[in-house]
Amino acid sequence: MERMAYRLTAPHPAGGTRRQAIVGVVASGNLEVLVERALPPDVCSVEVATSVRGFGPVWEAVVADFVARRAAGGLRIAINDSGARPDTVTLRLAQAVRLICAEEP
Amino acid sequence: MSGWNAQNDARAERIAAAGRYAAGKVVAPDVLVDFLHCVIRPGDRVCIEGDNQKQADALAAALAAVDPARVRDLHMVQSGIILPEHLDVFDKGIARRLDYSFSGPQSGRIARLLAAGKIELGAIHTYLELLARYVIDLTPQVALIAAVSADRQGNLYTGPNTESTPTIVEATSFKGGLVVAQVAQVVERVPRVDIPGDQVHFLVETGKPFHVEPLFTRDPAAITETQVLIAMMVIKGLYMPYGVRRLNHGIGFNTAAIELLLPTYGGQLGLKGRICTHWALNPHPTLIPAIEAGWVEQIHCFGSEVGMEDYVAARPDVFFTGPDGSLRSNRTLCQTAGLYACDMFIGSTLQIDLQGHSSTVTPSRIAGFGGAPNMGSDPHGRRHASDAWLEAGAQADPATPAPMRRGRKLVVQIGETFGERNQPLFVERLEAVELAERLGLKLAPIMVYADDVTHVVTEEGIANLLLCRGADEREQALRGIAGYTGLGRQRDPKMVEGLRQRGIILRPEDLGIDPLDADRSLLAARSMKDLVLASGGLYRPPGRFRNW
Amino acid sequence: MKPAEILRSLFPGGCDLTADGGLMAGHGPLPGAGRIHVLGVAEGTSLGVEEALWLARRVLEIGQARDATPILLMVDSGSQRMSRRDELLGLNEYLAHLAKALIIAELAGHRSVGLLYGHSAAGAFIATGLASSALVALPGATPTVMDLPSMARVTKLSIDFLREKAATTPIFAPGLDNLAQAGAVLEIWDPDKPLDLQLTSCLGRLSAVDERDRLGQERGGRPKAAAIAARVAKSSL
Amino acid sequence: MTAAGRIPAERLSWYEATARQRLGALVDPGTFVEIIGPEERETSPHLGIFDLPAQFDDGMIVGRAAIGGRAILIAAQEGRFMGGAFGEVHGAKLTGLLRAARMSRRDVVVLFDTGGVRLQEANAGELAIAEIIRALVGARSVGAQVIGLIGGRAGCYGGGGVIAGCCSTLIASEHGRIGVSGPDVIETNMGVEEFDARDRALIWRTMGGKHRYLIGGADLFVDDRPAAFREATLAALGRGGSLGLDTLVAEQARLERRLARFSDETDAIEVWAALGIGNAEAIPELATREFLLAAAGHRESADEAR
């Protein structure tokens, strides 16, 4: 396993009120993303645990783009990855943010 | 003495020599090898029928079993190197020289035999090209072909998999060559005559059907969300603006996703009747929902597809069928249609370089071409002025006055930025080039040349190469949709943004597509069972594709 | 220990036991007073639909008697019988039926002691020894969850890698000690001491609640199960 | 925390859905309360040894919910994480839930999706299954219903198949497979002649939902949609009854009868023909409605004998 952690300044604070959300499954080529509203609204942290080594620069780029584009401020994000490709990672991150930005039912 | 009939005389001699192994035209399977010793001579050009679908498997096995002391140095001229026996003949010295088109499962071994000097390579052709050379300078002396059944006069019934048989027989039989057909059964009367008996010299009754590979079956369950996203972009960003009505789809999950989105997403966009009405295409099971929803007017097929026989037979308004009710396919005609009569070819690829050349070759595998380079090229002989063709031409060359301007065929390559085992789609240098250097080939096996490609689509966006002015713009347009691959991360962000402003790069959001909406629930069928149900039970997938 | 030795030590005064193609049934006296039913899978027999039904029928007969006589279930089995026919007939139901019968008989007063003296594996183990009120074992018993070739196929790991891991990883490796560490085995009997006394002592110590996860925690084989189960149970009420 | 996507429930396939999507679509909206949710990160302590990634819920979701206004306990396995296999944490969650059901007599719904024991923690997984069976039987003995739903990608194999055999009611879709030895395991041990694991049609007609429903191995046969599973679950919850010796005596008779009737058949199609179904070969092709019609009056039913 390779572990990485990023803490970035987030230009867009997350909306909504839900405290947490989870999407995805840890299966080959897939990942799970757990999002918790646990940080100041201008910060986003991402922890990654991945079974595929050597993709650090790709993760860094994906995470940076995600934080720049999506409303990720205030979110603590934890990822368990089983070799997902960047497009899948981007999609899951967006799905997780959409879910947590929904109002608590 | 006649100096002008040597070929026919030689054929007559061979037929006479083989006569003791035949009752009329019928040869028993147990004397097949001895029979071949009589009809094939060293140095002959021989075609074993077989492409990516049907195979003259019994005859291929028999040829691989002949005595290399009696039959040797053959020049194999055949579409497919598919069965192990197709290469066994080179291993054993029965054959020496090879001209072919496609080698799916044998692509690793063919590379090894080439490297070992066991094969003298003529060329790796496209299907249409090799079939064309059959009537110019690669005419077979012997053709070993496959059919479903025959009568005693040699009239052949090929069933839905007619494929290349008429072309092979035509080239061989009318030029002094000898045609041997394997059939499952010899019958009193064939259901329809696909090949007239006077063109066929011998028959072998094998008692079982020839092998056919279900190469065009894709299980909708394996289509990913990213492939759905790409399919949405293709429909909205290419099919809709160009109004693509005549087209060919390559094999793969990307095109299967497009087919399954037509009745759902395409329907929501109001495109029924405006796109995808006429096809050069095998009977793809994933096209069933679109056909059933009334999208498709007509399909001409290269070959058939295992399990689709009854469905096709029940839809004669859509497919070409014979008096027996079943499909009539014809590879030569359909390839010609793919080259000339279609406005678009769209297919998946494994590697694209920064000029836009694409290839499916890897260092250890030479898969060949099949028909993709025919479909995926712009035919300069075309004169049919369809809207899509004219529009593409105008984008490429706005300066030339319209009446003097060629149109362009739309040639679209699709891929995900990272493919299997996380291999990047975009590369600095194609592995095909390395391979050519290593094997001393005069030509690198490029599937689609850069100057034929008009669009490249990934999940990151569509790059419209027609609109690019100069090599720099092409390169940045490709880097701009290369996502997080190494080449993508090295793009010039300013230039890429400029290309996007000019509509050369279209991102999903530029098309009004939210990647979050790219969901598998958009697929008109999400499982093989859904396809069966959509066909009203007429489609019968092979066992390995079932989960019921 | 050989089955004959085991029986002699369990029932020095003899017992009434019949064997039928790898299966056994009968009864023997307990030291002091009373008796115990004896059932068994012997000689590494695999548990297929017929075997499971045969055993379950006897368990249910015992269960229907209102005498609270305990059951000794002797186990030296294969795994579940791996065949197309057994699966076609619904082997899962047959094994489940046997497991349910043992547990329901226990609730009706017929506690059971599983005695693992040879091999057992997978579904056969679940439906027999692991469905008893308590499992005891004799040294030399060789329980496994799945044979390594099957494991290699299912996990897509090489058999060499699995062998290497098996040598160092108790949670995954076959063998009595590893399983005992996880809490499956209440006690390992001493073959040099009379088994009849060990049996009566064991019968006296049977708990009405499933203590295997707690044992696994104490023995260090299963660090989390007991606490997780307890927390879920508490929060579910 | 439920479904991930915006997929309308009527387009959701049970087979394709994740455990959370299934669970969300099954229970009354807003009623699910998860116990030891993913935020607690109670992951497997063993997978790291094999350099395998963990999942925050270890592939098992448990909690309280309501269906049709009726309070239940519920568990769902994620079949795509480690094949839905039972590991230490995964199994202990279900054990705890079933122990609570015995105390509260509350009904339990289990959404199975499992290949059996998680081999990387085989001893813990095997024991978890034994503990679950004991807790399940205990809960049923006091009158709690335990309803199993089977229609996921991993099927319900190994020890999972045995647990399913202990449930009071089983609801299966066509995709649902129930067995002990999986095709790969049979092929590895007994050879390809005994079972060709690549022959998917053979796998489904031997172990699939239709066959199980026809021989009484499953009680309700439903479409591959959450709404269908929900409707069937509501029906099953109303059945009541507790597991006792009389149930098992009836089951003994039922299983003996099955053995007597079908013992000589070698293929499912012969079994279906022996049941008196005309055109048995066509069974795999039938849609749900036609299949139920074909099965009616012919299938073996488990009724109270389970």
Residue B93 near residue B69 (C-beta atoms within 8 A): no
Q: Where are the alpha helices (DSSP H) in B65-215?
A: 84-91, 107-115, 127-133, 165-173
Q: Among 3.40.1260.10, 3.40.50.720, 3.10.20.90, 3.90.226.10, name the CATH number for the domain at C3-206.
A: 3.90.226.10
Confidence of residue B2 (pLDDT cuts 50, 70, 90): low
Subunits that touch chain C (at least 3 Cβ pairs < 8 angstroms)? D
The residues, ordered by sequence, that sit 6+ positions from C110 with a Cβ below 8 Å of its Cβ are C37, C62, C63, C65, C68, C69, C70, C71
**pLDDT over threshold 70, residue D6:** no
Q: Which of residues 102-131 of C touch D (CB under 8 A)?
A: 103-105, 107-108, 122-123, 125-127, 130-131
> Packing angle between helix B57-64 and helix B84-91, nearest 10 degrees?
20
- The last residue of one of the domains, among B193, B212, B231, is B212
Contact flag D245-C83 (C-beta cutoff 8 Å) = no
Mean pLDDT: which of B353-362, B463-472, C172-181 is highest? B463-472
CA distance B307 to B327: 12
Task: Say if B10 falls within a structural domain.
Answer: no
Q: What is the domain partition of chain A in residue ranges?
A: 2-100
Chain D residues within an 8 Å CB radius of B521: 5, 7-8, 11-12
pLDDT at position B322, please?
Answer: 97
pLDDT tens figures, D166-207 = 999 999 999 999 999 999 999 988 999 999 999 999 999 999
Contact flag A95-B516 (C-beta cutoff 8 Å) = yes
**pLDDT over threshold 80, residue B327:** yes
Confidence of residue D1 (pLDDT cuts 50, 70, 90): very low
Q: Counting Cβ atoms within 10 Å, is residue C208 exposed (0-12), middle (13-18) or buried (19+)?
A: exposed
Which residues sit opposite B362 in a β-bridge? Answer: B365
Subunits that touch chain A (at least 3 Cβ pairs < 8 angstroms)? B, D
Nearest chain D CA: its distance from A66 CA (Å):
18
Chain D residues within an 8 Å CB radius of B311: none
Cβ–Cβ pairs < 8 A, chains A and D = 57
Sheet holding B298-300, edge to edge: B298-300, B278-280, B246-249, B344-348, B410-414, B455-458, B461-464, B505-506
**What is the residue type of B47?**
C
CA distance B468 to B499: 8
Chain A residues within an 8 Å CB radius of B459: 87
- The last residue of one of the domains, among B212, B247, B281, is B212
| B171 and B248 co-located in one domain | no
Measured from the Cβ of residue C35, the count of other Cβ atoms closer than 10 Å reads 15
- The last residue of one of the domains, among B159, B180, B212, is B212
pLDDT at position D5, please?
Answer: 44
Q: Do chains D and B touch (3 or more CB pairs under 8 A)?
A: yes
Q: Say which CATH number the domain at B234 has.
A: 3.40.1080.10
Q: Which two tokens stand for residue A42?
A: 């201008």
Residue bearing tokens 């099971």? B285
Which of D103, D136, D143, D171 lies closest to D240 in space, CA to CA? D143
pLDDT tens figures, D157-177 = 999 999 999 999 999 999 999
pLDDT tens figures, D234-272 = 999 988 899 999 999 999 999 999 999 999 999 999 999
pLDDT at position D4, please?
Answer: 40
Cβ–Cβ pairs < 8 A, chains C and D = 295
| B248 and B377 co-located in one domain | yes
Task: Say if B400 falls within a structural domain.
Answer: yes
Nearest to A34 among D38, D78, D81 (CB): D38
Task: Say if B1 falls within a structural domain.
Answer: no
pLDDT at position C169, please?
Answer: 84
Confidence of residue D7 (pLDDT cuts 50, 70, 90): low
pLDDT tens figures, B491-519 = 999 999 999 999 999 999 999 999 999 99
Q: Counting Cβ atoms within 10 Å, is residue C43 exposed (0-12), middle (13-18) or buried (19+)?
A: middle
| B199 and B312 co-located in one domain | no
Among B28-42, B418-432, B528-542, C146-160, where is mean pLDDT lowest? C146-160
Task: Say if B121 falls within a structural domain.
Answer: yes
Nearest to A61 among B226, B422, B489 (CB): B489
Contact flag B422-A85 (C-beta cutoff 8 Å) = yes
Contact flag D6-B516 (C-beta cutoff 8 Å) = yes
Q: Which two tokens stand for residue D89?
A: 């944490």
CA distance B263 to B284: 15
pLDDT at position D59, please?
Answer: 98
Confidence of residue A61 (pLDDT cuts 50, 70, 90): very high
Which residues sit opposite D155 in a β-bridge? Answer: none
| B186 and B291 co-located in one domain | no
Average pLDDT, chain D: 94
| B187 and B244 co-located in one domain | no
Report residue C42 CA to chain centroid gap.
Answer: 12
Which sign, positive or negative, has the C-alpha torsion D169, C207, C123, D87? Answer: positive
| B276 and B172 co-located in one domain | no
Subunits that touch chain B (at least 3 Cβ pairs < 8 angstroms)? A, D
Residue B351 near residue B256 (C-beta atoms within 8 A): no
pLDDT at position B362, please?
Answer: 78
Region B132-138: mean pLDDT is 98
Question: Which chain D residue is nearest to residue B221, measuring alpha carbons?
Answer: D16
pLDDT at position C154, please?
Answer: 78
Average pLDDT, chain B: 95
Q: In 3-state terms, what secondary structure has residue C4?
A: helix
Contact flag B225-A91 (C-beta cutoff 8 Å) = yes
Q: How far is CA B240 from CA B80, B110, B208, B233, B266, in A?
A: 36, 42, 46, 10, 9
Q: Which two tokens stand for residue C6?
A: 């085991």
Nearest to A99 among D4, D55, D78 (CB): D4
Name the domain count of chain B: 2
Range of the domain at B64: 15-212
**pLDDT over threshold 80, residue D153:** yes
Task: Say if B23 falls within a structural domain.
Answer: yes
Task: Say if B275 falls within a structural domain.
Answer: yes
pLDDT along chain C (237 residues), means of 10: 93 93 95 93 97 98 95 97 97 98 97 97 97 97 86 84 84 92 96 96 93 96 97 96
Residue ranges of domains in chain D, CATH in brackets? 9-178+218-242 (3.90.226.10)
**pLDDT over threshold 70, residue D223:** yes
Contact flag D123-C170 (C-beta cutoff 8 Å) = yes
Q: What is the domain partition of chain C in residue ranges?
A: 3-206, 209-237
Which residues sit opposite B352 in a β-bridge? Answer: B358, B426
Q: Which residues of A touch D (CB under 8 A)?
A: 1, 18, 20-27, 30, 32, 34, 36, 49-51, 78, 80-82, 95, 99, 105
Chain A residues within an 8 Å CB radius of B224: 88
pLDDT at position D3, please?
Answer: 37
Q: Which two tokens stand for residue B48?
A: 């074993």
Residue B8 near residue B168 (C-beta atoms within 8 A): no
pLDDT tens figures, A16-51 = 999 999 999 999 999 999 999 999 999 999 999 999
Contact flag D55-A105 (C-beta cutoff 8 Å) = no
Which residues sit opposite B102 in a β-bridge? Answer: B80, B368
Chain D residues within an 8 Å CB radius of C105: 245
| B361 and B379 co-located in one domain | yes
Contact flag D53-A36 (C-beta cutoff 8 Å) = no
Does any CB of chain A come closer than 8 Å to the CB of residue D18? yes
Q: In 3-state terms, what secondary structure has residue B423?
A: coil
